[in-house]
Amino acid sequence: MTLRFALVIDPAAADDPRTDFAGSFRVIDPSAPALSVGELSTQRGDGIFESIAVVDGHAQETEAHLERLAHSARICDLAAPNLAQWRQAVAVAAAHAPGEGEGVIKLILSRGVEHGPAPTAWVTVAPAADNTAAREQGIRVVTLDRGYGIATPAAAPWLLLGAKTLSYAVNMAALREARRRGADDAIFVTSDGFVLEAPTASLILRIQGRFLTPAPNGGILHGTTQLSLFSHLEEQGYETAYAMLDVSALQEADAAWLVSSVRLAAPITAIDGVAVPVDAPLTASFNRYLLSPRD
Ligand code: PLP
């Protein structure tokens, strides 16, 4: 997707007392080369990111994304981002997003140039892809082994499993494998049979009237969309819960969705070739809610 706007940020320390960070932003030509070839983000995928949806010019759930950026930075031993500075950068970016329709703001924080003095940080704005078909017609998914057990994330924190790192080559490979198997997307499962998440989305199942999602116990990202939908469902009196979900739970679901910031709620129509019922009115109401201005 063609970038509309890009901003390089001179990262400030987390305790920098400034209230106006405009002087630390440098607008750049989004179509021109900008990164040094020594960048660890490109050499090693060593950095973190966030994708924030923009709807009619409004950046959705900025605080939840900033909190997750800080969480990912902690896991990756990156200096804590100054959230006031990033919040201001998001506001500048949102002002350059399409005033109508959907866009995406990306926040990227890289470890910087090898042996360099500081991390590299930048923000981009692009129009969002058209996700109408996934939202309205749904998606077929296959389960794919993620290659480790449910206890691995706690035992091996250097795998950085709860962080939104720039190393998405494995996630993209999983999506290609899903397509080779005739599906649109994948659900990762642990080698000992627990359900995790999709390569770029969280999973929500409805089982006997309760909305369930795998517990973010270090092995998966805590999705901002799932969090927002759960509080919306709770306000409407529905029961929600985080759970350790065995793969057999997938076949018990009477509705299931992959949810993420930009595609929003995509109803699952089949898992491993077995049809899953679709609740079209509820899915439409999820997406109406997700497209409404949310902070
Ligand atoms: N899990 C993974 C691995 C993701 O990459 C994403 C989003 O890109 C999500 C879950 C959903 O997170 P969010 O709802 O904050 O977009």
CA separation (Å) from 274 to 42, 174, 176, 183? 39, 20, 20, 12
Residue to probe by mutation, ligand 1, list 75, 200, 217, 259, most atoms within 8 Å of CB? 200
Say if ligand 1 is within 6 A of residue 287 CB. no
Proportion of the chain in helix, strand, coil states, percent, rounded to 5:
30, 30, 40
Three-state SS for 6? strand
Query: Tens digits of per-residue pLDDT, 88-139?
Result: 999 999 999 989 999 999 999 999 999 888 899 999 999 999 999 999 999 9
Nearest CA to ligand 1 atom 4: 200
Low-confidence ranges of the chain (pLDDT < 50): none
CA 44 to ligand 1 center in whole angstroms: 21
Cα distance between residue 59 and residue 49, in whole Å: 16
pTM of the predicted protein model: 0.97
CA 218 to ligand 1 center in whole angstroms: 14
* Model pLDDT, residue 1: 67
CA separation (Å) from 5 to 31, 82, 94, 105, 166? 9, 22, 10, 9, 20
CA 52 to ligand 1 center in whole angstroms: 10
* Model pLDDT, residue 117: 86
Say if ligand 1 is within 6 A of residue 200 CB. yes
Nearest CA to ligand 1 atom 12: 223
CA 116 to ligand 1 center in whole angstroms: 30
* Model pLDDT, residue 217: 81
CA 262 to ligand 1: nearest atom: 16
* Model pLDDT, residue 43: 94
Parallel, antiparallel, or unpaired: how do β-strands 210-214 and 202-207 relate?
Answer: antiparallel
Say if ligand 1 is within 6 A of residue 197 CB. yes
